[in-house]
Structure 1
Amino acid sequence: MTDHGPQPVERQLPTEESRDLLALVRDLVQREIEPVAAEEEEAGRFPREVFRLLSASGLLALPYAEEFGGDQPYEVYLQVLEELAAARLTVGLGVSVHTLACHALAGFGSKEQQAEHLPGMLGGGLLGAYCLSEPSSGSDAASLRTRATRDGDTWTLEGTKAWITHGGVADFYTVLARTGGEGAHGITAFLVPGDAPGLSAAPPERKMGMKGSPTAQLHFDGVQVPDARRIGDEGQGFAIALSALDSGRLGIAACAIGVAQAALDEALAFTAGRRQFGRPIADFQGLRFMLADMATQIEAGRALYLAAARLRDAGLPFSRQAAMAKLFCTDAAMRVTVDAVQLLGGYGYTADFPAERYMREAKVLQIVEGTNQIQRMVIARHLAGPESR
């Protein structure tokens, strides 16, 4: 009889430092995240202390400049995300969203703004959120209606944002608001404190999965923001948002592979221990083929997101590859988690095993950071040009 069961993920990492970093992350995961993940998710508890620990450990600053505690290439940062998401998607996706929320200031803010805000955002225990979507503008983000009106050196924000991860618990929000006419060129980015007067959160959405991660509408009722918190030029906000989304899609791809890997590991462990007809069910060819297909999809997805990350690290265009990675990895996660439930049989349908949680969590990854239908449009536009009107 052959030896069955999950094997450690073999990673290609560029430096000894990055290998030590992944070892640190795995240790933190095993001590602080994995043991309570199922219980915390079932109870819908947000792991705020875990994010403070990640911040204190330098894990919220990884893809940013060395002066702010980072200086890791994206290919390393994404593999950290994968490890975190495999343990608990609420944490992995939360780190990805936080990185997205910091992107505007780190990439387009002035030196003075960066010096004032980035240390706290990246290593000072603060947690961020990203505010682009609205109740009437999701995929069509350029049609957003939240408006910022200027009076001297102060902007007043009015409107509602929707589907905000960390809505109501974040310490700061990167907010895209309309400052000019209709369309993409009338949008500006702002950094809004989480405790700003006039800012309130609706009760969190009741979701299929990721119950420990609050997703809520945010209401801006006369929220005043000094011009010193405007990021980039007036009208530059939509370009800033698109730049952040390219990188954010890679974060979602890495999280998806993390969830898929966790589901495969669960299926391998179960099928190795479950005996029917006198032998482990992992010995039956039909199940072995399912496991082989699951592993192949995971390896292909990991290779795809890492290839896109290496393009980004080299300063080369990567938008098309980021959309491809987000599309493929999240679709693969859905297939792998469905198969994991099937391999566990009736046990897979119960909350006593994590497979059903992985399946519920995988679904949202096909939706966030641009639905997979939008990813196909992005990819096709790169290949064949804009659609005819």
Structure 2
Amino acid sequence: MGSRHPFTRYAAAAALLVLAGCSSGGSDPAPVTGFTQADLAGDWDILQLATNDESGWADVQVRIAASGQVTVLSFLDDQGNTGLPPPGFDLKAIIAQNGTVRLTGADGDPAFHGTMAAARTLVFGTGQEGTPVVRRNLFAWRKRVPGLTYSAADLAGRSFAFHGLYAGAGVRWTWGAASTDAAGVLTVGELHASDGVVMDPGAAGTLSVDGAGVVRLDDGAAMRGVMAPDKNAVFLVHLSGDPGAPEPGFMVLQRTGRTFAQADLAGDWALHLVYSGATAVSSGWNRGACSIDASGTLTFSAFENSTGSTVLPASRRLTLSSDGRLSTSADATYHGQVSWDGDFYVRISGGAMNPSLGFVAR
């Protein structure tokens, strides 16, 4: 399991670790109930960021049958690999009533953990590969809802908050604000990075979307991804940096413009987070279950990290601004954004040596 590529046994097959639903121990952080196998059936787009030592990204499309059997339809990674699983590939994705998803079959793998969000069209997860570990992974996957189509109008004339995490030669988090004009030209009006950079980059390129919700940015840096079915978020993988020192990244654009109240955070949530370091040893993942009360106080009821610790983190109070931004007095590096529908939020934190990006869903 020491190959450069972020997937090991079979390139596209191993990418499907995103669907696995159990960790090596601890509790399954899935507060919403009532999920059924039918929620998994259909076509999905899967995006992965793999951190150091073997950093990279992958963009995979799969089809899940009613039985849970998985078929890989397409695969692409940051190195240009497009290999598909060989005949006889046996992988089944099985969802529990609480929303955790497990991989079974001869090619299943229990090392990954993912949680389906309440709308049943998104899954977020974390995991790791290798013995010893050579990569920590962050995943998001999006369902292709039958009958739903997308158009350029879905990206035009919108304001966004963005959060990103980079690995490889440029370990860092980023957050900021951006907007599109009527032609889809993306302008970044504010950018902050964990290495201390603060800037106003300006025009970044033109965003386009096809009928299936596949998004591209013509910035010359291999930025590609998918639009969420509610059309209010875009998930992207990105390759920046010099050819000899690539910086694979994962970025989320979230539509802004609606009004929030502090009480909108109240409820039960599941966390999946990866922090990126110079090596796999200094990278890691956290996952857990937490609740937030009407005042914004977040309390964990279950937690596990990549070192095997299950000690619950201290409670902290999150402040939700009227435009959906999240902050906490407990950590000056913490910055987040609640999704338009309130089903998940994205958050970054950490310093220049341990930047992190997390999805928190309900």
Mark yes or no: TM-score above 0.5: no
Structure with higher strand content: 2
| TM-score normalised to structure 2 length | 0.31
- Larger gyration radius, structure 1 or structure 2: 1
Scaled by the length of structure 1, the TM-score of the pair is: 0.29
